[in-house]
Structure 1
Amino acid sequence: MDYTRIRVESFLVVSFLVSGIIAAMHTPFAHAQVKSIKQVANQTDYQKHPNKDDIDFVLQKRVMWNYADGIFKPNAQLTQGQLLTSLVALMQLKEKVAVSQLPDGHWAKEVYEKANKVGILAGVTIDPNRPLTKEEAALIVNNAWKPYRGGIWPGVTNYQHLIARGILPKVWGQTPESPFLRSEGAQVFKFLYIEFNGMLGGNRIADQFHNSLRLSNGVLTGVVPNANGFRVEGLIYKIDGSTMYFKPGMTFKVKAIDVKHMLFSVFIPGKGESVTRYLYKELPKLTRINDLAD
């Protein structure tokens, strides 16, 4: 047997295959395949994590991001700068108020200035690279949500408030001083993203209702909007103790003198708390109060 010929032919076959593979790797399709394989590989650090769905959600909505090496690091401690970057993106903040603690050109300066404009930095020691405890993270989140929910409930810490609202689960052995992990950040941001966009939609529905109200010759009239994707609840409390409930699409008419006050609420289906709630208690004036923020 000519072993020399076999070795040469084998070498030529292998060389041909390698050349073909290298050539194929430069095609757009191959690049897409390599990129796809890379993305799948990069996701493996959270594929079996209990918060996988939350992480997928926030990455898809672009309110959290992978690291430069393409992995999420769910068990890494979230930093102050990362938390604020996500909140600013989620809340779509644009306006700024100067933050002198960060120099011009600092990567986080614009984020902090946008957060500062709406009061998110109240009580916060500015340090973008600071790994956060649960209480420190909760303070920032509650500052951000204060205009919408009126701050934390009496007698609880910031972290306990997130638990009480169902934003974070209570975990045995965890304290306010425990590290706040990126996987927990994904839980929080998913909740806030859904609630924030629910509030935007709920306010549009509430504005439709408000703009339909008319008071003429002592009679209050209005139209309850049909709200696809939302649940609308409203009622009129009358002086005599009776109530009139609203239904989507209905037109109502009532004597203003008979009305004690009126409430209009909007819910996301499946959520117990309303995302929008306005109280009218100065009738016959059509002044409304944001009953969630006050």
Structure 2
Amino acid sequence: MKLIGKTLWTSLLLVGIAVVQNGGSESEVLRLHVAEAAAKSAPASDYANHPAKDAISHGLQKGYLWKYPDGKFHPEQTVTQSQFVASLVAIRQVSEKESVPALPADHWAKDIYERAQKAGILANVPVNPNKLLTKEEAALLVFNAWKPFRGEKMKGYTNTGALVTWGWMEPAPKGQAKFREDLPVTRGDAAKILRYLWQDKWQLELGRQYHDEFKRSIQVNQDTITGVVPKANDDFLLSVTFVTKDNGRIVYKNGESFSVKLSETKKFLVFGISNKKDSSNAGTFRYSNLPDMEVINLTQQFSK
């Protein structure tokens, strides 16, 4: 029920943004929410043949994207700061708030921006809800939103360059500088970026669940450490790697049990979760100082 409540809140909020931005009355929000729900089940309309069709459909289904009151998505329109921020807030599922003095108390975007402020999404971002975003501005919001999950952006790059290098933003068209920061971000472009974020958050959360299951299975009895590598679904590869004293490797994978002599290994083991579809890292945890089980989270960072 909590998830349903959050989804309903997000839908009402985002439809309200669309209404106000298009000159409608705030009292129309509830009526248009019903129309929005119907539009979600309708044919893809104006994005049916768009390159971002799958990403748009995913976002509408998961509740972090929305259509306009006319039932269309308008994928070629430049995304506004408030639209992009609202999607980031919805994906992060931010509930707590922090004051945003730049917006008056009765501003239509106040609630969204207060949640974004609390989550750190607005760090070094001038508040301007109606601003049409460039790639650099959108990339900054992404790195702000994802700092708790992936750390700082790669050093030596602009936000655009770092996000393009990471693979979450498309480079400029051929014949132009690859990392052009001034290009606009369309709503279709934004849908692709946001789907990467939703999927990454999902797989990192799943990775932590697998790690917790693995950690609970570990037992140490004198010189022997035993445990079980959780059995992941077909999309993920889980592995436990022991490094032997001669720098060899002993590896156990999905669903396998292990029993290893501590006296034959170095003082650590590594538990890793990787996505087999794209080789992305869903979690890496190093257990050092065996048998004390001190855990260090080495999950891949943006800066690496």
1:243 to 2:249 alignment: yes
| 1:134-283 alignment, distance < 5 Å | 134-172=135-173, 173=176, 175-229=180-234, 230-257=236-263, 258-283=265-290
Match for residue 89 of structure 2? Answer: 88
Q: CA deviation at 1:101?
A: 2.0
* Residue 287 (structure 1) aligned to one of 273, 279, 294: 294
Identity of aligned residues (%): 37
Question: Does the Cα contact within 8 Å between 1:236 and 1:262 map onto a contact in 2?
Answer: yes
SS in 2 for 1:288: strand
Q: CA deviation at 1:102?
A: 2.0
Name the CA distance, whole Å, in 2 between partners of 1:145 and 1:289: 20
**Is 205-214 or 253-262 further displaced after alignment?**
253-262
Name the CA distance, whole Å, in 1 between partners of 2:281 and 2:155: 20
Aligned residue-pair number? 258
Deviation string, structure 1 residues 62-84 (Cα, Å, up to 9, x no partner):
11111122211111111111111
CA RMSD of aligned residues (A): 2.2
Q: TM-score, with normalisation over the residues of structure 1?
A: 0.81
Which amino acid counterpart does residue 80 of structure 1 have in structure 2?
Q
Question: Does the Cα contact within 8 Å between 1:81 and 1:128 map onto a contact in 2?
Answer: yes
Name the CA distance, whole Å, in 2 between partners of 1:285 and 1:177: 51
Q: CA deviation at 1:49?
A: 1.7
Question: Does the Cα contact within 8 Å between 1:78 and 1:182 map onto a contact in 2?
Answer: yes
Question: Does the Cα contact within 8 Å between 2:281 and 2:300 map onto a contact in 1?
Answer: no
SS in 2 for 1:262: strand
- The change in CA–CA distance for 1:287 and 1:116 in structure 2 (over 3 A counts) is farther
Name the CA distance, whole Å, in 1 between partners of 2:215 and 2:118: 29
Q: CA deviation at 1:277?
A: 1.4
Name the CA distance, whole Å, in 1 between partners of 2:88 and 2:122: 12
Question: Does the Cα contact within 8 Å between 2:270 and 2:287 map onto a contact in 1?
Answer: yes
Q: CA deviation at 1:138?
A: 0.3
Match for residue 76 of structure 1? Answer: 77
Q: CA deviation at 1:232?
A: 1.0
Q: TM-score, with normalisation over the residues of structure 2?
A: 0.78
Match for residue 26 of structure 1? Answer: none
Name the CA distance, whole Å, in 1 between partners of 2:119 and 2:51: 33
Q: CA deviation at 1:139?
A: 0.6
Deviation string, structure 1 residues 200-232 (Cα, Å, up to 9, x no partner):
111101110112222332432221111124221
- The change in CA–CA distance for 1:110 and 1:293 in structure 2 (over 3 A counts) is farther
Deviation string, structure 1 residues 232-290 (Cα, Å, up to 9, x no partner):
12311223211110122222222334233221111233121111111223333212122
Name the CA distance, whole Å, in 1 between partners of 2:97 and 2:226: 41
Q: CA deviation at 1:132?
A: 0.9
Which amino acid counterpart does residue 291 of structure 1 have in structure 2?
L
SS in 2 for 1:289: strand
Q: Which runs of 5+ in 1 are unaligned?
A: 1-31
Match for residue 116 of structure 1? Answer: 117
For the pair shown, the structure with the greater C-alpha radius of gyration is 1
SS in 2 for 1:90: helix
Question: Does the Cα contact within 8 Å between 1:147 and 1:293 map onto a contact in 2?
Answer: no
4+ residue segments displaced more than 6 Å: none
- The change in CA–CA distance for 1:215 and 1:66 in structure 2 (over 3 A counts) is same
